[in-house]
């Protein structure tokens, strides 16, 4: 699993939807600072539960974020 890939894909999908990190955190029911840590690369190993919530909020599959 390539962490920089995950952070780039989350950011890309989020920007495509035109939503802020704060909005994504609310939609995904994930802590705002967790979104920041994942996108900045500070958290390189988010749990599958967190990734699932983020993927659902972005309207993509977890697979889309991982590949």
Residue 43 Ramachandran class (φ > 0 left, ψ -120 to 50 alpha, else beta): beta
Q: In this model, does residue 1 exceed pLDDT 70?
A: no
Residue 21: domain span:
3-66
- Cβ-based neighbours of 59, under 8 Å, separated by 6 or more: 13, 17
> What was the pLDDT predicted at 50?
97
Percent of the chain with pLDDT over 70: 96
């780039």: which residue's tokens? Answer: 8
How many domains, in total, are found in the chain? 1
- pTM score, whole prediction: 0.92
DSSP string, the chain: --HHHHHHHHHHHHHHHT--HHHHHHHHT--HHHHHHHHHTS-S---HHHHHHHHHHHTS-HHHHH-
CATH number at residue 50: 1.10.260.40
Q: In this model, does residue 3 exceed pLDDT 80?
A: no
């Amino acid at each position: 699993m390539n962490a920089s890939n995950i952070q780039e894909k989350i950011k890309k999908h989020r920007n495509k939807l035109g939503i802020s990190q704060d909005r994504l955190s609310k939609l995904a029911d994930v802590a705002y600072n967790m979104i920041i840590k994942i996108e900045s690369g500070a958290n390189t190993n988010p749990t599958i539960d967190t990734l699932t919530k983020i993927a659902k909020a972005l309207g993509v599959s977890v697979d889309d974020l991982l590949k």
